[in-house]
Amino acid sequence: MTMEPTKPQKIWQVVHAIPQGKVASYGQVAHMAGLGRQARFVGRALGQLPEGHEVPWFRVIRSSGEIAFPKDSEMFRTQVGLLEAEGVEVVNGRVSMRKYQWQP
């Protein structure tokens, strides 16, 4: 008997599938994980990632293209650095969803 993945596990599976150099919005991830409009839950689930995970959390941003962390925070700088390392252009804390959004 196989166990049904938990909500966070479903989210992590979707985020893990986002290709390098692409981003997805919190709402897009929630929808793809079968969670409807639970975008805020996506943020909480990404905050619960276990130590040593390989889930590319940094590829998830707001639907407006904005990085969700405060601009002066260490997490903001980390996320921008990881995105830029994959070739995603971040201008004033924002990513062009038209150019970089994942279209599975």
- pLDDT tens for 15-72 read 999 999 999 999 999 999 999 999 999 999 999 998 999 999 999 999 999 999 999 9
User: Identity (one letter) of the amino acid at 59?
Assistant: R
Is a pLDDT exceeding 60 seen at residue 10? Answer: yes
Q: What angle do CA 27, 32, 35 make, to 5 degrees?
A: 70
Taking the C-alpha atoms of residue 58 and residue 80, their distance in angstroms, rounded to an integer, is 8
Q: Residue 93: which of 71, 64, 78, 72 has the closest Cα?
A: 71
pLDDT value, residue 8: 92
Residue 2 lies in a domain: no
Residue range of the domain that includes 38 = 7-100
Residue 93 lies in a domain: yes
Q: Residue 60: which of 13, 98, 27 has the closest Cα?
A: 27
Specify the CATH number for the domain of residue 54. 1.10.10.10
Residue 70 lies in a domain: yes
Residue 78: pLDDT band (50, 70, 90) is very high
In the chain, the number of structural domains is 1
Residue 2: pLDDT band (50, 70, 90) is low
